[in-house]
């Protein structure tokens, strides 16, 4: 028999979780809206702090509501039938509303914390959370449309005026001309020279690192193309930095190696639908994630993957590449993800601990990935069908990760794992690719090291196997167990040998501290043939010098000192001549 007291308890619990979500979402929006001011006054460090604060907000919000529920339900206890009623009460509140999936994801986060759920439990969680095209169309974003009746210049003047910043443009006419030239060039190449008909633009500016972006679409009589206008704000004033109209460049901007956008745009599912129309091959979960809705991105990724897993015929196997000393890596050949589990003990010469490895991943979550670090999502207490695993993977997990993985009936339960997009390891890519593509990848390998250094990241282990190649040909670093800050390193030259015997030794004859790095020895990590090595040295010989790394370290230390003093240095130490906030995310 359901008593009035029980009904009231269920009502109050559902209401409390709903109100907690509303408060979280309001705070998320409040922090997001700061991005405009940060951009206009060039407060890049403030933007960095906002990024971390917004990422930590979700976990703090869940923690608070779980603590409140524990106090509220302490007298009656908590069982699954009671929670099922709370779930029903909560579901009635959010049924049919825009972005209702966000609310249900928040509820599931609370539920999983309360019950320490392994896998998914339909009694205590919502399992129908998914991106729905019909809902997205019903809650579509308002679009700003600019019809071109004749001359393009007045239309672009109106567009830039509608999305103007309080800071002046360095040269508004030059910006209009730059956009017009890009549209004209694309029209000549892809639309047969036909006149442009209109431009559609999402109604809010997207902010990422030190850039601001308008996201839209351009239309000709028989052709359409995505249109992204990037703004930067150097000391001289706001300027159009570039106009992107090719899918590959825009896909990278919304990709899994970039920091998350700050954009004050609701409903989010409507914006997702619009962007997915521009980038139809971009997974929905990645779009949610790059828009800052990390938990919803995880939910969508988990749902899509488990749906695929239930119907596919292949099994989990070891991921391609050299065996890792720290991680056990496996993948499902028919799906573009890699799963990584930390080993109980690390192979020689690794000396780090499990906690230190987790800290490295946390560092990446909260750091500017500069388009060169892989976005990795952290999952806990996940159950997989045991029958879906190759026996070799099961054996390695049971023998070398038994503290994390266990078998329960017909399930393989993993207490803690990382999930990331699957890339082609650089060392394997160079063995198989055409020479021209290989030389380009080797040069971009150096670009990746350089880009990371500019954001105060030193990869630590520069072996080619720790870098991967995307389908766009970009080289990405993805092995974080030895990653550290440039400012934590002591860059040294190899001392001159005192005796001939010293040079003959296999080990070092001079003292090496834990933070010492010898750039001239990086060449030993370049396991390339002479052709590839020459391509690398022609473009990046300075990466093998102490001067490059010491200069980079000094710039980061100076920027940090000026920040503490209330100022900031802009200059060649930052990308585009401007300070670049470190960005990332935490789970």
Continuous H helices in 41-168:
44-72, 80-94, 100-115, 133-138, 153-162
**Predicted local distance difference test score (pLDDT) of residue 579:** 33
Residue 328 located in a structural domain: no
**Predicted local distance difference test score (pLDDT) of residue 576:** 34
Enter the tokens of residue 325.
């000393």
How many angstroms separate the first and last alpha carbons of the chain? 41
Q: How far apart are CA 169 and CA 160, in angstroms?
A: 10
Q: How far apart are CA 276 and CA 281, in angstroms?
A: 8
Q: Is 419:379 a contact under the CB 8 Å cutoff?
A: yes
Q: Is 253:228 a contact under the CB 8 Å cutoff?
A: yes
Same domain, 87 and 156: no
Q: How far apart are CA 582 and CA 293, in angstroms?
A: 19
Catalytic residue among 85, 375, 444, 451: 375
Q: How far apart are CA 329 and CA 334, in angstroms?
A: 16
Q: How far apart are CA 509 and CA 497, in angstroms?
A: 8
- Mark which of 129, 162, 178 sits at the end of a domain: 129
Same domain, 156 and 231: yes
Same domain, 93 and 212: no
Q: Which residues of 247-280 are buried (b: 16+ CB within 10 A; e: fewer)?
A: eeebbbbbbbbbbbbbbbbbbbbbbbbbbbebbe
Same domain, 437 and 569: yes
Distances (CA, A) of 324 to 320, 345, 498, 570: 11, 12, 37, 39
Q: Which residue reads 């633009």 in tokens?
A: 201
Instruction: Confirm whether 375 is a catalytic residue.
Output: yes
Q: Which H, E and C letters describe 472-532, residue by residue? A: CCCEEECCCCCCEEHHHCEECCCCCCCCHHHHHCCCCCCCCCCCEECHHHHHHHCCCCHHH
Return the bridge partners of 214, or none.
Answer: 229
**Predicted local distance difference test score (pLDDT) of residue 504:** 54
**Predicted local distance difference test score (pLDDT) of residue 569:** 46
Enter the tokens of residue 126.
């919502």
Residue 313 located in a structural domain: no
Residue 323 located in a structural domain: no
Q: Are strands 405-408 and 411-421 parallel, antiparallel or unpaired?
A: antiparallel
Same domain, 471 and 541: yes
Number of domains in the chain: 3
Find the Cα–Cα–Cα–Cα dihedral 201, 202, 205, 206, rounded to 10°: -110
**Predicted local distance difference test score (pLDDT) of residue 116:** 84
Q: How far apart are CA 267 and CA 425, in angstroms?
A: 38
**Predicted local distance difference test score (pLDDT) of residue 45:** 84
Q: How far apart are CA 269 and CA 573, in angstroms?
A: 38
Distances (CA, A) of 61 to 19, 53, 93, 117, 378: 11, 12, 19, 19, 18
**Predicted local distance difference test score (pLDDT) of residue 510:** 63
Contacts 24+ apart (CB under 8 A), 462-466: 462/522, 462/525, 463/427, 463/525, 463/527, 464/425, 464/426, 464/427, 464/430, 464/525, 464/526, 464/527, 464/528, 465/321, 465/322, 465/425, 465/426, 465/427
**Predicted local distance difference test score (pLDDT) of residue 587:** 23
Q: Which H, E and C letters describe 236-277, residue by residue? A: CCEEEEEEECCHHHHHHHCCCCCCCCECCCCCHHHHHHHHHH
Residue 393 located in a structural domain: no
Same domain, 495 and 465: yes
- Mark which of 94, 129, 164 sits at the end of a domain: 129
**Predicted local distance difference test score (pLDDT) of residue 511:** 66
Residues 6+ positions from 248 with CB-CB distance below 8 Å: 472
The mean pLDDT values, 10 residues at a time, for the chain of 587 residues are: 79 93 95 96 90 92 93 78 92 84 91 85 85 69 92 95 91 96 96 94 94 97 97 95 95 88 90 93 92 90 92 96 93 96 91 91 84 90 95 97 96 95 95 96 97 93 94 93 94 76 58 84 87 96 96 92 64 35 26
Do you find a cis peptide bond into 349, omega within 30 degrees of 0? yes
Residue 416 located in a structural domain: no
Cα–Cα–Cα angle for 60, 65, 69, nearest 5°? 150
Residue 470 located in a structural domain: yes
CA proximity to 299, closest of 103, 141, 63: 103
Same domain, 548 and 508: yes
Domain region containing 547: 426-577
Enter the tokens of residue 509.
């004859």
Q: 62 burial class (0-12, 13-18, 19+ CB within 10 angstroms)?
A: buried
Same domain, 458 and 535: yes
Do you find a cis peptide bond into 267, omega within 30 degrees of 0? yes
Residue 358 located in a structural domain: no
Q: How far apart are CA 216 and CA 226, in angstroms?
A: 6
Enter the tokens of residue 515.
């933070």
Same domain, 39 and 149: no
- Mark which of 307, 340, 374 sits at the end of a domain: 307
Same domain, 124 and 157: no
Residue 352 located in a structural domain: no
Same domain, 116 and 171: no
**Predicted local distance difference test score (pLDDT) of residue 118:** 82
Q: Which H, E and C letters describe 116-152, residue by residue? A: CCCCCCCCCCCCCCCCCHHHHHHCCCCCEEEECCCCC
Same domain, 77 and 224: no
């Amino acid at each position: 028999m359901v008593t009035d007291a029980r009904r009231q308890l269920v009502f109050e619990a559902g209401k409390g979780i709903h109100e907690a979500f509303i408060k979280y979402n309001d705070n998320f929006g409040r922090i997001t809206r700061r991005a405009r001011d940060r951009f206009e006054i060039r407060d890049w460090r403030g933007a960095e702090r906002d990024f971390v604060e917004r990422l930590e907000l979700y976990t703090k919000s869940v923690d608070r509501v779980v603590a409140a529920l524990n106090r509220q339900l302490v007298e009656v206890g908590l069982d699954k039938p009671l929670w099922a009623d709370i779930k029903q009460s909560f579901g009635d509140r959010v049924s049919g509303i825009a972005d209702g999936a966000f609310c249900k994801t928040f509820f599931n986060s609370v539920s999983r914390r309360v019950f320490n759920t392994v896998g998914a439990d339909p009694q205590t969680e919502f399992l129908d959370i998914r991106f729905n095209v019909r809902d997205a169309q019903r809650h579509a974003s308002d679009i700003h449309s600019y019809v071109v009746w004749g001359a393009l210049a007045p239309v672009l003047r109106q567009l830039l005026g509608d999305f103007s910043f309080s800071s002046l443009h360095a040269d508004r006419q030059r910006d209009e001309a730059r956009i017009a030239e890009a549209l004209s060039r694309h029209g000549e190449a892809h639309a047969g020279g036909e006149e442009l008909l209109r431009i559609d633009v999402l109604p809010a500016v997207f902010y990422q690192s030190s850039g601001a972006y308008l996201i839209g679409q351009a239309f000709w009589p028989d052709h359409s193309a995505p249109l992204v206008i990037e703004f930067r704000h150097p000391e001289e004033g706001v300027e159009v930095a570039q106009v992107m109209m090719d899918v590959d460049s825009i896909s990278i901007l919304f990709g899994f190696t970039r920091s998350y956008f700050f954009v004050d745009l609701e409903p989010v599912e409507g914006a997702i639908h619009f962007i997915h129309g521009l980038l139809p091959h971009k997974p929905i979960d990645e779009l949610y994630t790059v828009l800052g809705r990390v938990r919803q991105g995880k939910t969508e990724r988990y749902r899509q993957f488990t749906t695929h897993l239930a119907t596919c015929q292949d099994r989990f196997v070891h991921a391609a590449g050299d065996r890792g000393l720290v991680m056990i890596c496996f993948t499902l050949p028919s799906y573009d993800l890699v799963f990584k589990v930390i080993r109980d003990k690390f192979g020689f010469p690794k000396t780090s601990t499990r906690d230190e490895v987790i800290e490295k991943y946390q560092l990446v979550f909260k750091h500017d990935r500069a388009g060169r670090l892989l976005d990795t999502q952290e999952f806990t207490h996940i159950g997989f069908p045991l029958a879906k695993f190759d026996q070799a993977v099961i054996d390695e997990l049971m023998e070398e990760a038994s503290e994390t993985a266990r078998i329960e009936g017909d399930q393989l339960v993993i207490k803690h794992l990382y999930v990331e997009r699957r890339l082609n390891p650089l060392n394997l890519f160079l063995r198989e690719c055409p020479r021209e593509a290989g030389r380009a990848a080797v040069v971009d390998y150096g670009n990746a090291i350089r880009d990371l250094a500019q954001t105060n990241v030193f990869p630590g282990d520069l072996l080619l196997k720790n870098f991967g190649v995307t389908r766009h040909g970009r080289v990405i670093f993805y092995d974080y167990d030895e990653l550290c800050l440039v400012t934590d390193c002591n860059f040294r030259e190899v001392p001159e040998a005192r005796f001939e015997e010293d040079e003959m030794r296999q080990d070092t004859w001079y003292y090496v501290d834990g933070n010492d790095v010898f750039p001239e020895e990086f060449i030993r990590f370049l396991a390339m043939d002479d052709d590839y090595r020459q391509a690398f040295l022609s473009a990046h010989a300075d990466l093998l010098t102490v001067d490059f790394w010491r200069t980079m370290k000094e710039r980061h230390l100076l920027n940090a000192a000026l920040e503490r003093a209330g100022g900031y240095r802009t200059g060649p130490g930052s990308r585009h001549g401007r300070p670049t906030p470190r960005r990332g995310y935490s789970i």
